[in-house]
Amino acid sequence: MDQFAGRKNIIAVMVMVAAFILVARLFYIQVIDSSYKLSAENNSKRIETIYAARGLIYDRNHSLLVYNQPAYDLMIAPFELKSFDSIALCDLLNIDMERLRSGIARVKIPKYRRDPFIKQLSPETYAVLQERLFRFPGFYVRSRTLRKYSKEMAAHVLGYVGEVDEKTIENNSYYVMGDYIGISGIEGYYEEFLRGEKGQEVLLVDVHGRVKGPYQGGRFDEDARVGSNFICTIDARLQEYGEMLMKNYKGSIVAIEPSTGEILTLISSPSYNPSLLVGRQRSHNYGKLESDSLEPLFNRALMANYPPGSTFKPVHALIGLQEGVIDVNSTFSCNLGYYAKGVRVGCHDHASPLKLLAGIQNSCNAYFCNVFRRILEDPKYPSVTDAYNNWRNHILSFGFGNTLNADFTNELRGFIAPSSYYDRYYGEHHWSALTVISLAIGQGELLITPLQMANMVACIANRGYYYIPHMVKQIEGVDTLDRRFTHQHKVDIDTANFNRVVEGMYLAVNGGPGRTAGIARINNIAVCGKTGTAENPHGEDHSVFIAFAPNDEPKIAIAVYVEHGKWGASYAAPIASLLIEKYLTDTISPNRKWIEARMLSRNLLYAQ
């Protein structure tokens, strides 16, 4: 018997050790380690997202532009599916049987997950479905909101909302698959204000995923927080009127309040009905818009790069005055153009010779070729390159050649060539003022966006400074605007020089013989403007016009581009003057209705 005593003791010790390990493990699992508890809890609860309604968008006069409409996602809970009348459901949803079968098959793995079957049901479809939903066990509806528009306008300003993609989810933990996000325009740039904050409802579920009620009495539920309402700077009446005037043209309009930098209207034409990018047809409609040869999705106001043409001449006048190479009495001759060392720049027939103000009034190419050449051949600079760099710095101070840092997601820079650009093409010190003389009349390598042109006009109207153009006027719950929109940007030109150029622009509209923008004249409103023709290598030249009014204490500065419109006075100037009159007087005078009728009767959409 003694031979087994040692073995019995060993076995007893082993049993005690095993029991101790088991008790210790149970203690650790039940008291110290919470992972199993969490796993059990997770199997007994489900978190449902409550989507916040986006903030409303108003115009500067508090007219409602964008609001919300209810929409509904039809969800499938595969673990709750039972036999149902599939034909009736297909008829109700206007889908075929294959769509129903594939939708059910898609969500059956994992078994207890609930997935959307059809997104964004219309309120009409939901109303009918809700009455009969009890006949289709395993299907239920999750509510959310979609955008709705009070008018079919301002699509490029407002932007649109779409479903998040994987890249967005990777970069921002707030979003999960199925969420919506502002993609462009105000919706995109001010997404964090407009979206609000999602809430949640925590539900108690059984082992089969069936809802048994709120989890722990709803103590973990969170209400969604509605997005902030947004007042934009756009004048809805002016925007609507401008879009009507541009409906038969390709081009853009940007109008700014000079004293604040607030954008009064921003139009890219052709445009589209913003409602097309809402709801279940959004993807289909987006594809159609994207393939449209008229490019309605392309925002010409921010992304089109045009040469400014003769609208750039006031800037050259300002630089010439600032550099002291001309004064208001400087006189140059024009014999239907400018000629020097085999270089010719043509011009139209007008009186000659001309002083500065008349040069602006008559838009004389020869005059500004002389001015530009004096700027680049100024003897106080060691070389043409040094003089060019100085000229370029003046140009950049107006906001050209860079984004203005406005509140848009897709603003382009334009292009003001550095001297190195010409060094590469012609060789260092192997180019001269005559080599780049086309810059004198706003051609050559100059590329400007309409937003930048409107900002330049605002700067001239302010006699030497501008505020960054912006769309935000007020955000609910936010006391002050972004400081960059209230910071005054000064250009390096003396105010006195602006006064002289403004007088020339006034004469271009209101002067006597030789004025190039007489079509823009408005009784009792002192309009200052400048026409331009932007050369187009692919077809008819573009019609361009810049203006501001009134002369003293300007309320509106505007830039208009009409593609293939040729002369500035043909299309851009009449359209700009109508918008100025509409904004300042809220009407179009009877003696100018013929201009409105003419703009509405013509069509250049398919011009080349």
In a domain, 391, yes or no: yes
Tokens 């100024």 sit on residue: 378
Quick one: which of 506, 503, 546, 501 has its CA closest to 526? 506
For the chain, how are helix, strand and coil distributed in percent, rounded to 5? 40, 20, 40
- Residue 348 shares a structural domain with residue 202: no
Q: Where are the beta strands (DSSP E) in 306-394?
A: 337-340, 343-346
- Residue 448 shares a structural domain with residue 518: yes
Two structure tokens written together for 393: 């710095």
Q: Give me the phi and psi of 217, to 5 degrees please.
A: 70, 15
| Residue-averaged pLDDT of the chain | 90
In a domain, 315, yes or no: yes
In a domain, 409, yes or no: yes
- Residue 122 shares a structural domain with residue 241: no
Does an H or E element contain 245, and which? helix 236-245
Q: Where are the beta strands (DSSP E) in 77-114?
A: none
Q: How does strand 139-149 pair with strand 161-163?
A: unpaired
Full domain range(s) for residue 221:
44-63+150-232
Q: Are 311 and 530 in contact (CB under 8 A)?
A: yes
Q: Which residues pair with 72 in a beta bridge?
A: 121, 143
In a domain, 517, yes or no: yes
Encode burial over 245-256: b for 16+ CB neighbours within 10 A, e otherwise: bbebbbbbbbbb
| Cα–Cα–Cα angle for 562, 57, 242, rounded to 5 degrees | 20
In a domain, 211, yes or no: yes
pLDDT mean by block of 10 residues, the chain; 608 residues: 61 74 67 50 66 95 95 82 86 87 71 70 83 85 89 96 90 88 96 92 69 73 91 98 97 98 98 92 92 96 96 98 97 95 93 96 96 97 97 97 94 96 94 96 96 98 98 93 94 95 97 90 96 89 97 97 95 98 97 97 90
CATH number, domain at 180? 3.90.1310.10
Which positions ≥6 away from 593 have C-beta within 8 Å?
none
- Residue 221 shares a structural domain with residue 77: no
In a domain, 289, yes or no: no
Distance CA 403, CA 555 (A): 24
Q: What's the total number of domains in the chain?
A: 3
Does an H or E element contain 214, and which? strand 211-214
- Residue 459 shares a structural domain with residue 508: yes
Encode burial over 144-161: b for 16+ CB neighbours within 10 A, e otherwise: bbbbebebebbbbbbbbb
In this prediction, residue 38 carries a pLDDT of: 40
- Residue 362 shares a structural domain with residue 270: yes
- Residue 171 shares a structural domain with residue 243: no
- CB count within 10 Å of CB 203 equals 19
Distance CA 397, CA 456 (A): 10
In a domain, 363, yes or no: yes
Distance CA 84, CA 134 (A): 10
Residue type at 186 in one-letter notation: I
- Residue 121 shares a structural domain with residue 258: no
The residue out of 198, 232, 266 marking a domain boundary is: 232
DSSP readout, 124-144? HHHHHHHHHGGGSTTEEEEEE
Quick one: which of 393, 240, 222 has its CA closest to 322? 393
- Residue 471 shares a structural domain with residue 590: yes
- Residue 363 shares a structural domain with residue 444: yes
Two structure tokens written together for 581: 């009159």
Distance CA 85, CA 606 (A): 52
In a domain, 596, yes or no: yes
Tokens 């009969």 sit on residue: 132
Two structure tokens written together for 140: 């239920």
Distance CA 452, CA 443 (A): 16
In this prediction, residue 114 carries a pLDDT of: 64
- CB count within 10 Å of CB 26 equals 10
Q: Are 202 and 47 in contact (CB under 8 A)?
A: yes
In this prediction, residue 37 carries a pLDDT of: 46
Distance CA 189, CA 149 (A): 18
Distance CA 25, CA 15 (A): 15
Cα distance between the two ends of the chain: 114
The residue out of 148, 179, 212 marking a domain boundary is: 148
Rounded to two decimals, the pTM is: 0.88
- Residue 245 shares a structural domain with residue 210: no
Which CA distances in Å does 106 have to 109, 111, 117, 349? 7, 11, 9, 74
- Residue 252 shares a structural domain with residue 163: no
The residue out of 148, 170, 193 marking a domain boundary is: 148
